[in-house]
Amino acid sequence: MTFSATQWPSPAKLNLFLYVNGRRDDGYHELQTLFQFVDHGDTLTITPNQTGKITLAPAIDGVPLESNLIYKAAIALQEKAQSTLGADIHLDKRLPMGGGLGGGSSNAATALVALNHLWDTQLSEDELAEIGVKLGADVPVFVRGKAAFAEGVGEIFQAAEPEEKYYLVVKPPVDVSTVSIFTHPKLTRNTPKRDLSTLLSQNYENDCEKIVTELHPEVDKALSWLLEYAPSRLTGTGACVFAEFQTREDAVTVFNKLPDWLEGFVAKGINRSPLLIALQRS
């Protein structure tokens, strides 16, 4: 049997808002956050094989194969489904690493969803999400492929339909440690819980933004620059920040003024993941 290569999208996500409601005894935080996908991301080219081996190219500096979430996802699916098939996977990386855009989680989800289809292992969406959550808290969002409101420690999901705006997403030249933000003594941890309809009707904010901009002047500088043009805020714990626009033209106009020290892209917010659309087409 011969297998052909197929391409699968691995989109970025934005946290349109992020509120920290409290810290639990186990150290994890209670959150309320709104995930939306954007039509920009990485691409996985996957060719199934009959050897049972998983190969991944190109190698990422400082990330051993066994630690790569794509590899871990493929192995976990093999074991769960008891599949004897393998795959040769090539990652076209467009998303900045460590930016708060969910790139690694999205890569893992794309591997799970695509290989489940290509290997014909027939696991349900719930079963794939169950594998995914062991790889990372955000992986199930990408597996399910629908914009979502998340609560608890990020494991309780509710479908959501936020407005699909255009975004200019920028990455300052700095990496932010999520652990350092969530362990910071000055992090806001007492934002009252509110229902989704209330949250959607109010201005969106991110409780991590104050600490991140204090610790990382580059993020503060990037955010200040964006705020001259449009409502802007941090996504996740950063380092990426984004500005929102009603039209692509407006976003591109500001993108064309981007200072040399920033990298970025323009994308449309979408409530259905391109991965879901690719799966339905195939």
User: What 3-state class would DSSP assign to 119?
Assistant: coil
Examine the residue annotation and report whether 13 is marked as an active-site residue of this protein.
yes
The Cα–Cα gap between 163 and 16 comes to: 10
Asked whether 237 and 100 are in contact (CB, 8 A), the reply is yes
The Cα–Cα gap between 44 and 24 comes to: 37
The Cα–Cα gap between 249 and 131 comes to: 40
Examine the residue annotation and report whether 138 is marked as an active-site residue of this protein.
yes
The torsion of the CA quartet 59, 265, 222, 18, rounded to 10 degrees, works out to -80
Q: How many CB atoms lie within 10 A of CB 111?
A: 32
Q: Which residue in the block uniquely carries the two structure tokens 């201005």?
A: 203
Check 42, 93, 126, 138 and give the catalytic one. 138
Q: Left if phi > 0, otherwise alpha if psi is -120 to 50, otherwise beta: which for 145?
A: left
Check 13, 72, 165, 171 and give the catalytic one. 13
Asked whether 77 and 123 are in contact (CB, 8 A), the reply is yes
Asked whether 139 and 109 are in contact (CB, 8 A), the reply is yes
The torsion of the CA quartet 172, 177, 178, 181, rounded to 10 degrees, works out to -90
Report, as residue numbers or ranges, the catalytic residues. 13, 138
